[in-house]
Amino acid sequence: MSTMMEAMLGEFREEAETTKRVLERVPADKLTWRPHAKSMSLGELAMHLASAPAGVARFIQHDEFDISQSRPQTPQPATLAEIQAAFEQSTRAAEECLKGMSEQKAMANWRLLFKGKEVFARPRTEVLRKIMFNHLYHHRGQLSVYLRLLDVPVPVIYGKSADENPFA
């Protein structure tokens, strides 16, 4: 495995631990709660966060992906166990993807299509960074706001939160 992919794998593992801490705070009795009519429910958001890495790992293995052919819908989970199982499976799939990717494949262009028309072509590493990593961070931030709105203690993410201080 190349140094670049080792670094990405290390970051993914560290961030997965942080994501797990946030997902562990999701209250089982609030899975259908949503902060706004246009927002995902708490359960849908948690499930999306839990399963997104595997989804990216699946489509990044190919040279291109046509988003019009498959627009996965995030299911409303009935239990926290569904979210936890999805997260475990998803992190394993993402790790396998990152571990198995050669530097040559990582640097090769990957294309996103819509109805056969190219939306963009970028090196896989850039797609992994923007869609797998940054997407994960974005939704984890959303989930932490949902927790705050529900008055659930927000765990440490990058330093202290209003509820926890790892430096105390």
Beta strand 109-114 with 117-123 is antiparallel
CA 53 to CA 48: how far, in whole Å? Answer: 9
Average pLDDT over residues 138-158: 97
Res 73 pLDDT > 90:
no
pLDDT at 71: 67
CA 164 to CA 138: how far, in whole Å? Answer: 21
Between 116 and 132, residue with greater pLDDT: 116
Burial code of 28-60, b = ≥16 C-beta within 10 A, e = fewer?
eeebeeeeeeeebbbbbbbbbbbbbbbbbbebb
Per-residue pLDDT tens over the stretch 82-117? 999 999 999 999 999 999 999 899 999 999 999 999
**Overall CATH class of domain 3-149:** mainly alpha
Res 78 pLDDT > 90:
yes
* Cα distances (Å, whole numbers) of residue 52 to 58, 76, 166: 10, 15, 28
Res 15 pLDDT > 90:
yes
pLDDT at 149: 98
Res 35 pLDDT > 80:
yes
Instruction: Categorize the per-residue pLDDT at 69 as very low, low, confident or very high, splitting at 50, 70 and 90.
Output: confident
Residue spans per domain, the chain? 3-149
Instruction: Categorize the per-residue pLDDT at 1 as very low, low, confident or very high, splitting at 50, 70 and 90.
Output: low
pLDDT at 70: 75
